[in-house]
Amino acid sequence: MDFLSLQEIHHTYFTKTSATTALSDISLEIGEGEFVSFLGPSGCGKTTLLSIIAGLLEPTAGAITLEGKDVQEASKNIGYMLQQDYLFPWKTIEENILLGFKIDGSLNDSNRDYALTLLEKMGLKGVEKQYPKQLSGGMRQRVALVRTLATEPKLLMLDEPFSALDYQTKLKLEDLVSNTLKSFGKTAILVTHDIGEAIAMSDRIFLFSSSPGQIHKTFIMPDELREATPFNARNHEAYSSIFQTVWKELESLEPANKH
Amino acid sequence: MNPQTNIEQGHRRYLQSLKREKKWVRFYQLIIFLVFFSGWEIASRLQWIDPLIFSSPSKVWELFLAKVQDGTLFVDLSYTLFETIFGFILGTVLGTLLAAILWWSPLLSKIADPYLVVLNSMPKVALGPILIVALGPSFTSIVAMGAIISIIITTIVVYTSFKEVDPNYIKVLQTFGATRFQIFKEAILPASFPVIISTLKVNVGLSWVGVIVGEFLVASKGLGYMIIYGFQVFNFTLVMLSLLVIAVCATIMYQLVELLERKLIKNGS
Ligand SMILES: Nc1ncnc2c1ncn2[C@@H]1O[C@H](COP(=O)(O)OP(=O)(O)OP(=O)(O)O)[C@@H](O)[C@H]1O
Ligand SMILES: [Mg+2]
Protein backbone atom coordinates (compact mmCIF):
# COMPACT_ATOMS: atom_id res chain seq x y z
CA MET A 1 0.00 0.00 0.00
CA ASP A 2 1.13 3.53 -0.62
CA PHE A 3 2.38 5.57 2.27
CA LEU A 4 0.36 8.67 1.51
CA SER A 5 -2.61 8.60 -0.75
CA LEU A 6 -4.88 11.42 -1.91
CA GLN A 7 -8.09 10.61 -3.71
CA GLU A 8 -9.97 13.20 -5.71
CA ILE A 9 -9.36 16.11 -3.42
CA HIS A 10 -11.42 19.19 -4.11
CA HIS A 11 -11.27 22.30 -2.08
CA THR A 12 -13.32 25.46 -2.29
CA TYR A 13 -12.86 28.41 0.03
CA PHE A 14 -16.12 30.05 0.94
CA THR A 15 -16.32 33.63 2.08
CA LYS A 16 -19.34 35.88 2.39
CA THR A 17 -18.76 37.38 -1.02
CA SER A 18 -17.09 34.63 -2.98
CA ALA A 19 -16.31 31.00 -3.48
CA THR A 20 -12.76 30.27 -4.67
CA THR A 21 -12.00 26.80 -5.90
CA ALA A 22 -8.38 26.34 -4.88
CA LEU A 23 -8.01 22.66 -5.74
CA SER A 24 -9.81 20.42 -8.11
CA ASP A 25 -9.55 16.67 -8.54
CA ILE A 26 -6.15 16.07 -7.01
CA SER A 27 -5.21 12.41 -6.80
CA LEU A 28 -1.72 11.25 -6.06
CA GLU A 29 0.23 8.58 -4.29
CA ILE A 30 3.54 8.95 -2.51
CA GLY A 31 5.60 5.98 -1.44
CA GLU A 32 7.46 5.66 1.83
CA GLY A 33 10.87 7.32 1.72
CA GLU A 34 10.03 9.22 -1.43
CA PHE A 35 10.89 12.88 -1.86
CA VAL A 36 8.46 14.84 -4.02
CA SER A 37 8.13 18.48 -4.95
CA PHE A 38 5.09 20.60 -5.71
CA LEU A 39 5.94 23.19 -8.29
CA GLY A 40 3.56 25.72 -9.70
CA PRO A 41 2.59 29.34 -10.14
CA SER A 42 1.64 31.45 -7.15
CA GLY A 43 -1.90 30.90 -5.99
CA CYS A 44 -2.31 27.44 -7.51
CA GLY A 45 -3.20 25.93 -4.16
CA LYS A 46 0.07 24.40 -2.96
CA THR A 47 -0.23 25.73 0.59
CA THR A 48 -3.87 24.73 0.64
CA LEU A 49 -2.97 21.18 -0.32
CA LEU A 50 -0.33 20.96 2.41
CA SER A 51 -2.81 22.21 4.99
CA ILE A 52 -5.22 19.52 3.88
CA ILE A 53 -2.59 16.79 4.07
CA ALA A 54 -1.58 18.03 7.52
CA GLY A 55 -5.17 17.65 8.65
CA LEU A 56 -5.49 21.35 9.42
CA LEU A 57 -8.08 21.91 6.76
CA GLU A 58 -10.98 19.65 5.88
CA PRO A 59 -11.20 19.31 2.08
CA THR A 60 -14.61 20.00 0.54
CA ALA A 61 -14.41 16.54 -1.01
CA GLY A 62 -12.00 13.65 -1.22
CA ALA A 63 -10.03 11.43 1.09
CA ILE A 64 -6.45 11.35 2.33
CA THR A 65 -4.84 8.47 4.11
CA LEU A 66 -1.42 8.11 5.68
CA GLU A 67 -0.42 4.47 6.09
CA GLY A 68 -4.04 3.58 5.57
CA LYS A 69 -5.22 5.85 8.40
CA ASP A 70 -7.15 9.06 8.20
CA VAL A 71 -4.82 12.06 8.52
CA GLN A 72 -6.78 13.50 11.42
CA GLU A 73 -5.62 10.55 13.49
CA ALA A 74 -2.17 10.37 11.99
CA SER A 75 -1.36 14.05 12.51
CA LYS A 76 1.40 13.23 15.01
CA ASN A 77 3.36 11.61 12.19
CA ILE A 78 3.25 14.68 10.02
CA GLY A 79 5.64 17.59 10.32
CA TYR A 80 4.67 20.76 8.54
CA MET A 81 6.86 23.78 8.18
CA LEU A 82 4.80 26.80 7.22
CA GLN A 83 5.70 29.24 4.50
CA GLN A 84 7.05 31.72 7.07
CA ASP A 85 8.97 30.74 10.17
CA TYR A 86 6.29 31.57 12.78
CA LEU A 87 8.70 31.20 15.66
CA PHE A 88 7.07 32.29 18.90
CA PRO A 89 8.60 35.68 19.68
CA TRP A 90 8.22 35.29 23.44
CA LYS A 91 10.01 31.94 23.52
CA THR A 92 13.76 31.48 23.30
CA ILE A 93 15.17 29.53 20.37
CA GLU A 94 15.55 26.51 22.61
CA GLU A 95 11.94 26.72 23.81
CA ASN A 96 10.86 27.11 20.21
CA ILE A 97 12.60 24.00 18.93
CA LEU A 98 11.37 21.94 21.89
CA LEU A 99 7.77 23.01 21.36
CA GLY A 100 6.69 19.78 19.68
CA PHE A 101 7.93 17.70 22.63
CA LYS A 102 6.30 20.04 25.10
CA ILE A 103 2.95 19.74 23.36
CA ASP A 104 2.87 15.96 23.30
CA GLY A 105 4.42 15.74 26.75
CA SER A 106 7.49 13.82 25.67
CA LEU A 107 10.16 16.33 26.61
CA ASN A 108 13.19 14.63 28.11
CA ASP A 109 16.97 14.95 28.07
CA SER A 110 17.59 12.79 25.02
CA ASN A 111 14.97 14.69 23.02
CA ARG A 112 16.50 17.95 24.08
CA ASP A 113 19.98 16.78 23.09
CA TYR A 114 18.71 15.61 19.74
CA ALA A 115 17.06 18.96 19.01
CA LEU A 116 20.14 20.89 20.06
CA THR A 117 22.35 18.69 17.88
CA LEU A 118 20.08 19.43 14.93
CA LEU A 119 20.39 23.10 15.68
CA GLU A 120 24.14 22.80 15.69
CA LYS A 121 24.08 20.91 12.39
CA MET A 122 22.17 23.82 10.88
CA GLY A 123 25.08 26.04 11.81
CA LEU A 124 23.28 27.69 14.71
CA LYS A 125 25.38 26.88 17.70
CA GLY A 126 25.08 29.19 20.67
CA VAL A 127 21.77 30.87 19.86
CA GLU A 128 19.67 28.69 22.20
CA LYS A 129 19.08 31.39 24.76
CA GLN A 130 18.35 34.14 22.27
CA TYR A 131 14.95 35.28 21.09
CA PRO A 132 13.77 34.99 17.47
CA LYS A 133 13.95 38.70 16.79
CA GLN A 134 17.66 38.65 17.52
CA LEU A 135 18.24 36.34 14.53
CA SER A 136 18.27 37.08 10.84
CA GLY A 137 15.50 35.87 8.55
CA GLY A 138 17.56 32.97 7.23
CA MET A 139 18.56 31.88 10.72
CA ARG A 140 14.96 31.94 11.84
CA GLN A 141 13.96 29.78 8.92
CA ARG A 142 16.58 27.23 9.91
CA VAL A 143 15.31 27.27 13.48
CA ALA A 144 11.80 26.62 12.17
CA LEU A 145 13.21 23.71 10.19
CA VAL A 146 14.81 22.31 13.33
CA ARG A 147 11.52 22.68 15.19
CA THR A 148 9.79 20.65 12.49
CA LEU A 149 12.49 17.99 12.19
CA ALA A 150 12.98 17.59 15.95
CA THR A 151 9.88 15.51 16.55
CA GLU A 152 11.01 13.10 13.82
CA PRO A 153 7.79 13.00 11.82
CA LYS A 154 7.38 10.23 9.27
CA LEU A 155 6.09 12.65 6.69
CA LEU A 156 7.70 16.03 6.37
CA MET A 157 6.15 18.91 4.48
CA LEU A 158 8.16 22.01 3.73
CA ASP A 159 6.51 25.09 2.30
CA GLU A 160 9.25 27.05 0.54
CA PRO A 161 11.74 26.47 3.34
CA PHE A 162 14.71 27.97 1.55
CA SER A 163 13.13 31.00 -0.06
CA ALA A 164 14.53 33.56 2.38
CA LEU A 165 18.09 32.26 2.27
CA ASP A 166 21.10 33.44 0.35
CA TYR A 167 22.18 31.15 -2.45
CA GLN A 168 25.14 29.55 -0.65
CA THR A 169 23.26 28.77 2.52
CA LYS A 170 20.44 27.46 0.41
CA LEU A 171 22.71 25.01 -1.43
CA LYS A 172 24.22 23.84 1.84
CA LEU A 173 20.86 23.37 3.50
CA GLU A 174 19.50 21.52 0.51
CA ASP A 175 22.28 18.99 0.91
CA LEU A 176 21.84 18.84 4.65
CA VAL A 177 18.08 18.34 4.55
CA SER A 178 18.31 15.86 1.71
CA ASN A 179 20.96 13.80 3.50
CA THR A 180 19.15 13.88 6.82
CA LEU A 181 15.88 12.78 5.28
CA LYS A 182 17.49 10.07 3.15
CA SER A 183 19.44 8.62 6.04
CA PHE A 184 16.30 8.32 8.14
CA GLY A 185 14.23 7.13 5.19
CA LYS A 186 11.75 9.97 5.64
CA THR A 187 9.06 10.87 3.20
CA ALA A 188 8.97 14.51 2.23
CA ILE A 189 6.95 16.98 0.25
CA LEU A 190 8.67 20.19 -0.77
CA VAL A 191 6.85 23.21 -2.10
CA THR A 192 9.04 25.49 -4.14
CA HIS A 193 9.10 28.08 -6.88
CA ASP A 194 12.63 27.14 -7.80
CA ILE A 195 12.74 24.62 -10.65
CA GLY A 196 16.40 23.84 -9.98
CA GLU A 197 15.73 23.08 -6.36
CA ALA A 198 12.84 20.79 -7.25
CA ILE A 199 14.99 18.87 -9.72
CA ALA A 200 18.00 18.65 -7.44
CA MET A 201 16.11 17.43 -4.39
CA SER A 202 13.22 15.30 -5.54
CA ASP A 203 12.43 11.90 -6.88
CA ARG A 204 9.28 13.21 -8.52
CA ILE A 205 7.94 16.65 -9.35
CA PHE A 206 4.24 17.46 -9.50
CA LEU A 207 3.65 20.49 -11.66
CA PHE A 208 0.45 22.33 -10.75
CA SER A 209 -1.62 24.59 -12.94
CA SER A 210 -3.85 27.17 -11.34
CA SER A 211 -7.47 28.33 -11.20
CA PRO A 212 -8.43 25.82 -10.12
CA GLY A 213 -5.31 24.05 -8.87
CA GLN A 214 -4.77 20.80 -10.69
CA ILE A 215 -1.90 18.47 -11.30
CA HIS A 216 -0.76 19.44 -14.74
CA LYS A 217 2.09 17.02 -15.16
CA THR A 218 4.33 14.68 -13.22
CA PHE A 219 8.05 14.43 -13.87
CA ILE A 220 10.04 11.47 -12.70
CA MET A 221 13.69 12.23 -12.05
CA PRO A 222 16.27 9.84 -13.51
CA ASP A 223 18.14 7.64 -11.06
CA GLU A 224 21.45 9.39 -11.49
CA LEU A 225 19.96 12.65 -10.24
CA ARG A 226 18.13 11.01 -7.37
CA GLU A 227 21.24 9.38 -6.09
CA ALA A 228 23.38 12.46 -6.29
CA THR A 229 23.26 15.06 -3.54
CA PRO A 230 21.35 18.19 -4.54
CA PHE A 231 24.58 20.07 -5.06
CA ASN A 232 26.02 17.44 -7.35
CA ALA A 233 22.71 16.99 -9.11
CA ARG A 234 22.79 20.64 -10.11
CA ASN A 235 26.11 19.99 -11.85
CA HIS A 236 25.03 16.73 -13.46
CA GLU A 237 24.76 16.57 -17.23
CA ALA A 238 21.16 15.33 -17.08
CA TYR A 239 20.16 18.36 -15.04
CA SER A 240 19.96 21.02 -17.70
CA SER A 241 17.83 19.07 -20.13
CA ILE A 242 15.30 18.31 -17.41
CA PHE A 243 15.42 21.93 -16.38
CA GLN A 244 14.52 22.89 -19.96
CA THR A 245 11.62 20.47 -20.08
CA VAL A 246 10.14 21.62 -16.78
CA TRP A 247 10.75 25.25 -17.67
CA LYS A 248 8.86 24.86 -20.97
CA GLU A 249 5.92 23.23 -19.24
CA LEU A 250 5.81 25.97 -16.65
CA GLU A 251 6.00 28.61 -19.39
CA SER A 252 3.12 26.99 -21.23
CA LEU A 253 1.01 27.46 -18.10
CA GLU A 254 1.74 31.14 -17.66
CA PRO A 255 -0.20 32.85 -20.47
CA ALA A 256 -3.39 31.05 -19.57
CA ASN A 257 -3.08 32.30 -16.03
CA LYS A 258 -2.61 35.99 -16.46
CA HIS A 259 -4.60 37.76 -13.80
CA MET B 1 44.22 54.68 17.51
CA ASN B 2 42.91 51.24 16.71
CA PRO B 3 39.27 50.80 15.72
CA GLN B 4 38.43 48.75 18.82
CA THR B 5 39.15 51.54 21.29
CA ASN B 6 37.39 53.86 18.91
CA ILE B 7 34.18 51.86 19.21
CA GLU B 8 34.55 51.64 22.97
CA GLN B 9 34.99 55.36 23.21
CA GLY B 10 32.02 55.98 20.99
CA HIS B 11 29.93 53.70 23.13
CA ARG B 12 31.05 55.47 26.30
CA ARG B 13 30.21 58.83 24.76
CA TYR B 14 26.79 57.51 23.77
CA LEU B 15 26.12 56.30 27.33
CA GLN B 16 27.26 59.64 28.70
CA SER B 17 24.94 61.55 26.43
CA LEU B 18 22.08 59.32 27.56
CA LYS B 19 22.96 60.02 31.18
CA ARG B 20 23.18 63.74 30.57
CA GLU B 21 19.77 63.79 28.93
CA LYS B 22 18.28 61.87 31.84
CA LYS B 23 19.74 64.37 34.27
CA TRP B 24 18.13 67.27 32.45
CA VAL B 25 14.77 65.52 32.31
CA ARG B 26 14.91 64.89 36.07
CA PHE B 27 15.96 68.50 36.64
CA TYR B 28 12.98 69.94 34.77
CA GLN B 29 10.63 67.50 36.45
CA LEU B 30 11.86 68.70 39.81
CA ILE B 31 11.47 72.34 38.74
CA ILE B 32 7.83 71.76 37.77
CA PHE B 33 7.21 70.07 41.09
CA LEU B 34 8.75 72.91 43.07
CA VAL B 35 7.07 75.65 41.05
CA PHE B 36 3.68 74.00 41.44
CA PHE B 37 3.84 73.61 45.21
CA SER B 38 5.56 76.89 46.00
CA GLY B 39 3.19 78.68 43.60
CA TRP B 40 0.28 77.11 45.39
CA GLU B 41 1.67 78.10 48.80
CA ILE B 42 2.38 81.69 47.75
CA ALA B 43 -0.93 82.16 45.96
CA SER B 44 -2.73 80.92 49.02
CA ARG B 45 -0.80 83.11 51.49
CA LEU B 46 -1.26 86.24 49.37
CA GLN B 47 -4.95 85.40 48.97
CA TRP B 48 -4.72 85.19 45.17
CA ILE B 49 -6.77 82.08 45.57
CA ASP B 50 -9.28 81.48 48.34
CA PRO B 51 -7.28 79.66 51.05
CA LEU B 52 -10.50 78.26 52.47
CA ILE B 53 -11.21 76.35 49.27
CA PHE B 54 -7.75 75.66 47.91
CA SER B 55 -5.97 75.30 51.24
CA SER B 56 -2.17 75.37 50.98
CA PRO B 57 0.68 72.85 50.95
CA SER B 58 1.83 73.85 54.43
CA LYS B 59 -1.65 73.29 55.90
CA VAL B 60 -1.97 69.99 54.09
CA TRP B 61 1.44 68.98 55.41
CA GLU B 62 0.50 69.90 58.99
CA LEU B 63 -2.70 67.93 58.72
CA PHE B 64 -0.76 65.06 57.20
CA LEU B 65 1.65 65.00 60.17
CA ALA B 66 -1.20 65.22 62.65
CA LYS B 67 -3.10 62.41 60.96
CA VAL B 68 0.01 60.28 60.76
CA GLN B 69 0.64 60.79 64.45
CA ASP B 70 -2.83 59.86 65.60
CA GLY B 71 -2.82 57.02 63.07
CA THR B 72 -6.16 57.88 61.48
CA LEU B 73 -4.65 58.40 58.05
CA PHE B 74 -3.37 54.85 57.89
CA VAL B 75 -6.71 53.45 58.90
CA ASP B 76 -8.46 55.28 56.09
CA LEU B 77 -5.67 54.61 53.63
CA SER B 78 -5.51 50.91 54.34
CA TYR B 79 -9.26 50.52 53.84
CA THR B 80 -9.23 52.27 50.53
CA LEU B 81 -6.04 50.63 49.36
CA PHE B 82 -7.32 47.19 50.19
CA GLU B 83 -10.62 47.79 48.42
CA THR B 84 -8.90 49.20 45.36
CA ILE B 85 -6.37 46.41 45.02
CA PHE B 86 -9.05 43.82 45.55
CA GLY B 87 -11.38 45.46 43.04
CA PHE B 88 -8.56 45.88 40.56
CA ILE B 89 -7.49 42.25 40.73
CA LEU B 90 -11.06 41.00 40.66
CA GLY B 91 -11.97 43.17 37.67
CA THR B 92 -8.89 42.20 35.69
CA VAL B 93 -8.96 38.49 36.48
CA LEU B 94 -12.69 38.09 35.91
CA GLY B 95 -12.50 40.18 32.74
CA THR B 96 -9.68 38.04 31.35
CA LEU B 97 -11.48 34.88 32.39
CA LEU B 98 -14.63 36.02 30.61
CA ALA B 99 -12.53 36.80 27.55
CA ALA B 100 -11.06 33.30 27.68
CA ILE B 101 -14.54 31.76 27.86
CA LEU B 102 -15.67 33.83 24.88
CA TRP B 103 -12.59 32.72 22.94
CA TRP B 104 -13.28 29.13 23.86
CA SER B 105 -16.78 29.25 22.47
CA PRO B 106 -17.15 31.38 19.33
CA LEU B 107 -20.89 30.77 19.35
CA LEU B 108 -21.24 32.10 22.88
CA SER B 109 -19.22 35.17 21.93
CA LYS B 110 -21.55 35.90 19.03
CA ILE B 111 -24.55 35.56 21.30
CA ALA B 112 -23.00 37.70 24.05
CA ASP B 113 -21.83 40.45 21.71
CA PRO B 114 -24.78 42.91 21.90
CA TYR B 115 -25.02 42.48 25.67
CA LEU B 116 -21.37 43.32 26.09
CA VAL B 117 -21.86 46.46 24.03
CA VAL B 118 -24.81 47.55 26.17
CA LEU B 119 -23.02 46.79 29.44
CA ASN B 120 -19.94 48.59 28.25
CA SER B 121 -21.74 51.77 27.27
CA MET B 122 -23.56 51.88 30.59
CA PRO B 123 -22.01 54.26 33.15
CA LYS B 124 -21.04 51.71 35.78
CA VAL B 125 -21.00 54.11 38.73
CA ALA B 126 -24.73 54.57 38.15
CA LEU B 127 -25.08 50.99 39.36
CA GLY B 128 -23.74 52.08 42.75
CA PRO B 129 -27.07 52.48 44.54
CA ILE B 130 -28.27 49.09 43.28
CA LEU B 131 -25.08 47.40 44.45
CA ILE B 132 -25.40 48.95 47.86
CA VAL B 133 -28.98 47.79 48.22
CA ALA B 134 -28.10 44.34 46.98
CA LEU B 135 -24.82 43.77 48.82
CA GLY B 136 -25.30 46.04 51.78
CA PRO B 137 -23.47 49.31 52.57
CA SER B 138 -20.20 47.56 53.23
CA PHE B 139 -16.77 46.57 52.11
CA THR B 140 -18.27 44.06 49.62
CA SER B 141 -20.23 46.61 47.64
CA ILE B 142 -17.27 49.00 47.43
CA VAL B 143 -15.02 46.23 46.11
CA ALA B 144 -17.78 45.32 43.68
CA MET B 145 -17.79 48.91 42.46
CA GLY B 146 -14.02 48.81 41.96
CA ALA B 147 -14.31 45.57 39.98
CA ILE B 148 -17.45 46.21 37.95
CA ILE B 149 -16.12 49.42 36.52
CA SER B 150 -13.25 47.61 34.74
CA ILE B 151 -14.53 44.12 34.10
CA ILE B 152 -16.52 44.60 30.88
CA ILE B 153 -13.97 46.80 29.16
CA THR B 154 -11.26 44.29 30.12
CA THR B 155 -13.33 41.47 28.63
CA ILE B 156 -13.86 43.32 25.38
CA VAL B 157 -10.28 44.49 24.92
CA VAL B 158 -8.65 41.21 25.90
CA TYR B 159 -11.08 39.12 23.86
CA THR B 160 -10.35 41.27 20.81
CA SER B 161 -6.66 40.66 21.26
CA PHE B 162 -7.22 36.90 21.70
CA LYS B 163 -9.04 36.88 18.38
CA GLU B 164 -6.34 38.83 16.61
CA VAL B 165 -3.52 36.38 17.34
CA ASP B 166 -2.06 35.29 14.01
CA PRO B 167 -3.83 32.00 13.15
CA ASN B 168 -0.58 30.63 11.80
CA TYR B 169 0.76 30.29 15.35
CA ILE B 170 -2.28 28.14 16.04
CA LYS B 171 -1.49 26.16 12.89
CA VAL B 172 2.05 25.49 14.11
CA LEU B 173 0.68 24.15 17.38
CA GLN B 174 -1.95 22.08 15.62
CA THR B 175 0.69 20.39 13.51
CA PHE B 176 2.10 19.14 16.82
CA GLY B 177 -1.36 17.92 17.81
CA ALA B 178 -2.01 20.59 20.44
CA THR B 179 -5.29 20.64 22.34
CA ARG B 180 -7.38 23.79 22.53
CA PHE B 181 -6.14 24.40 26.04
CA GLN B 182 -2.51 24.07 24.90
CA ILE B 183 -3.17 26.48 22.06
CA PHE B 184 -4.53 28.96 24.58
CA LYS B 185 -1.62 28.52 26.93
CA GLU B 186 1.20 28.51 24.39
CA ALA B 187 -0.01 31.04 21.84
CA ILE B 188 -3.17 32.97 22.65
CA LEU B 189 -2.39 34.06 26.19
CA PRO B 190 1.30 34.98 25.82
CA ALA B 191 0.62 36.75 22.52
CA SER B 192 -1.93 38.88 24.37
CA PHE B 193 0.26 39.78 27.34
CA PRO B 194 1.07 43.26 26.01
CA VAL B 195 -2.63 44.03 25.66
CA ILE B 196 -3.45 42.58 29.06
CA ILE B 197 -0.74 44.71 30.63
CA SER B 198 -2.04 47.86 29.02
CA THR B 199 -5.56 47.10 30.25
CA LEU B 200 -4.04 46.60 33.71
CA LYS B 201 -2.67 50.11 33.48
CA VAL B 202 -6.08 51.49 32.55
CA ASN B 203 -7.73 49.42 35.26
CA VAL B 204 -5.52 50.91 37.98
CA GLY B 205 -7.16 54.27 37.31
CA LEU B 206 -10.64 52.80 36.88
CA SER B 207 -10.58 50.87 40.15
CA TRP B 208 -9.69 54.03 42.05
CA VAL B 209 -12.66 55.77 40.47
CA GLY B 210 -14.98 52.89 41.39
CA VAL B 211 -13.77 52.65 44.96
CA ILE B 212 -13.78 56.38 45.66
CA VAL B 213 -17.30 56.72 44.27
CA GLY B 214 -18.32 53.69 46.31
CA GLU B 215 -16.95 55.34 49.44
CA PHE B 216 -18.76 58.57 48.59
CA LEU B 217 -21.95 56.55 48.68
CA VAL B 218 -21.55 54.33 51.70
CA ALA B 219 -18.43 54.47 53.69
CA SER B 220 -17.71 55.75 57.10
CA LYS B 221 -14.03 55.12 56.49
CA GLY B 222 -11.55 55.51 53.66
CA LEU B 223 -10.08 58.26 51.53
CA GLY B 224 -13.31 58.70 49.56
CA TYR B 225 -15.12 59.23 52.84
CA MET B 226 -12.44 61.74 53.88
CA ILE B 227 -13.17 63.72 50.72
CA ILE B 228 -16.93 63.73 51.17
CA TYR B 229 -16.60 64.50 54.89
CA GLY B 230 -14.14 67.34 54.25
CA PHE B 231 -16.60 68.70 51.70
CA GLN B 232 -19.50 68.55 54.13
CA VAL B 233 -17.69 70.30 56.98
CA PHE B 234 -15.96 72.65 54.55
CA ASN B 235 -12.50 71.42 55.51
CA PHE B 236 -10.79 71.52 52.13
CA THR B 237 -7.39 70.82 53.59
CA LEU B 238 -8.72 67.37 54.33
CA VAL B 239 -9.96 67.03 50.75
CA MET B 240 -6.61 68.10 49.33
CA LEU B 241 -4.76 65.73 51.61
CA SER B 242 -6.74 62.72 50.48
CA LEU B 243 -6.39 63.76 46.84
CA LEU B 244 -2.62 63.89 47.21
CA VAL B 245 -2.51 60.56 49.01
CA ILE B 246 -4.63 59.00 46.26
CA ALA B 247 -2.32 60.44 43.61
CA VAL B 248 0.73 58.94 45.29
CA CYS B 249 -0.85 55.52 45.80
CA ALA B 250 -2.24 55.30 42.28
CA THR B 251 1.20 56.18 40.92
CA ILE B 252 2.85 53.47 43.00
CA MET B 253 0.31 50.92 41.77
CA TYR B 254 0.97 51.98 38.21
CA GLN B 255 4.71 51.55 38.72
CA LEU B 256 4.15 48.07 40.09
CA VAL B 257 2.22 47.17 36.96
CA GLU B 258 5.13 48.41 34.87
CA LEU B 259 7.46 46.23 36.93
CA LEU B 260 5.20 43.28 36.18
CA GLU B 261 5.32 44.23 32.51
CA ARG B 262 9.08 43.98 32.45
CA LYS B 263 8.92 40.60 34.18
CA LEU B 264 6.25 39.19 31.92
CA ILE B 265 7.22 40.40 28.49
CA LYS B 266 10.45 38.94 27.30
CA ASN B 267 11.50 38.79 23.72
CA GLY B 268 15.08 39.81 23.90
CA SER B 269 14.56 43.54 23.77
N1 LIG C 1 -8.30 31.39 3.81
C2 LIG C 1 -8.62 31.59 2.52
N3 LIG C 1 -9.83 32.10 2.19
C4 LIG C 1 -10.17 32.29 0.89
N5 LIG C 1 -9.37 32.02 -0.15
C6 LIG C 1 -8.16 31.51 0.09
C7 LIG C 1 -7.71 31.28 1.46
N8 LIG C 1 -6.46 30.79 1.39
C9 LIG C 1 -6.13 30.72 0.10
N10 LIG C 1 -7.15 31.14 -0.70
C11 LIG C 1 -7.15 31.15 -2.18
O12 LIG C 1 -6.85 29.86 -2.65
C13 LIG C 1 -5.95 29.90 -3.73
C14 LIG C 1 -4.73 29.05 -3.43
O15 LIG C 1 -4.00 29.62 -2.34
P16 LIG C 1 -2.67 28.98 -1.79
O17 LIG C 1 -2.23 29.79 -0.65
O18 LIG C 1 -2.92 27.52 -1.54
O19 LIG C 1 -1.68 29.16 -3.03
P20 LIG C 1 -0.12 28.79 -3.15
O21 LIG C 1 0.00 27.88 -4.30
O22 LIG C 1 0.41 28.32 -1.85
O23 LIG C 1 0.51 30.20 -3.52
P24 LIG C 1 2.00 30.75 -3.20
O25 LIG C 1 2.92 30.03 -4.10
O26 LIG C 1 1.90 32.20 -3.53
O27 LIG C 1 2.25 30.50 -1.76
C28 LIG C 1 -5.63 31.36 -3.98
O29 LIG C 1 -6.41 31.79 -5.06
C30 LIG C 1 -6.06 32.06 -2.71
O31 LIG C 1 -6.57 33.33 -3.02
MG1 LIG D 1 1.83 29.09 -0.52
HSE-CB for A227 with a 13 A CA cutoff: 4
DSSP string, B187-223: IIHHHHHHHHHHHHHHHHHHHHHHHHHHHHHT-SSSH
- pLDDT at position A255: 57
A248/B contact by beta carbon, under 8 A: no
A258, part of any domain: no
Using 50, 70 and 90 to split pLDDT, how confident is the model at B167? very high
Is the pLDDT reported for residue A258 higher than 70? no
Given an 8 Å threshold on Cβ–Cβ distance, is B176 in contact with A100?
A: yes
pLDDT tens readout for residues A110-157: 999 999 998 988 888 889 899 999 998 888 888 998 999 898 888 899
What are the pLDDT digits (tens) for B103-126? 999 999 999 999 999 998 988 888
Tell me if residue A87 falls in helix, strand or coil: coil
For B180, name the nearest residue in chain A, comparing CA atoms only. A103
- Among residues A22, A27, A21, which one has the least CA distance to residue A9? A27
- The full set of domain ranges for chain B reads 3-49, 57-264
3-state secondary structure of A149: helix
- Determine the Cα–Cα distance for residues B224 and B216; give it in Å rounded to an integer: 6
Is the C-beta atom of A11 inside 6 A of ligand 1? Answer: no
* pLDDT tens per residue, range B83-94: 999 999 999 999
Collect all residues with Cβ–Cβ distance below 8 Å to A20 and sequence separation of at least 6: A12, A13
Closest chain A CA to residue B174: A56
- Half-sphere exposure for B30 (CA within 13 Å, toward CB): 6
CB-based contacts of A239, cutoff 8 Å, min separation 6: A196, A199, A200, A225, A233
B265 to chain A, closest Cα gap in Å: 7
Residue A9 bridge partners (DSSP): A26
* pLDDT tens sequence across B237-263: 999 999 999 999 999 999 999 898 888
A249, part of any domain: yes
In this structure, the residue with its CA closest to atom 29 of ligand 1 is: A43
- CA distances, A33 to each of A179, A180, B128 (Å): 12, 12, 70
The reply to whether residue B177 touches residue A54, judged by beta carbons under 8 angstroms, is: no
For residue A8, report the distance from its CA to the centre of ligand 2, in Å.
20
Counting Cβ atoms within 10 Å, is residue A245 exposed (0-12), middle (13-18) or buried (19+)? middle
Split at pLDDT 50, 70, 90, the class of A180 is confident
Would you say residue A122 lies in a domain? Answer: no
Name every residue whose Cβ is closer than 8 Å to that of residue B117 and which is 6 or more positions away in sequence.
none
pLDDT at residue A152 in the model: 86
**Contact of A66 with A153, CB cutoff 8 Å:** no
Domain annotation covers residue A51: yes
- Chain A residue with CA closest to B191: the answer is A90
Q: Which CATH class is domain B57-264?
A: mainly alpha
Quote the mean pLDDT of chain B. 90
Confirm or reject contact between B166 and chain A (CB < 8 A).
Answer: yes
Q: Counting one residue from A and one from B, how many pairs have CB atoms under 8 Å apart?
A: 61
Angstrom distance (rounded) from CA A170 to CA A190 = 14
Quote the ligand 2 centre to B257 CA distance (angstroms): 42
DSSP structural state of residue A34:
-
Give this prediction's pTM: 0.83
Strand order in the sheet with A4-14: A19-30, A4-14, A61-66, A69-70
- Domain coverage including residue A247: 4-87+155-253
Buried b (16+ CB within 10 A) or exposed e, B16-37: eeeeeeeeeeeeeeeeeeeeee
Q: Is the CB of A47 under 6 A from ligand 1?
A: yes
Q: List helix spans (H) across chain A.
A: 46-53, 71-74, 93-97, 99-103, 109-121, 137-150, 167-184, 195-201, 223-227, 230-235, 237-253
Residue A174, domain member (yes or no): yes
Instruction: Give me the CATH number covering residue A20.
Output: 3.40.50.300
ipTM over 0.90 threshold: no
Nearest to B268 among A51, A82, A133 (CB): A133
pLDDT confidence of residue B5: 77
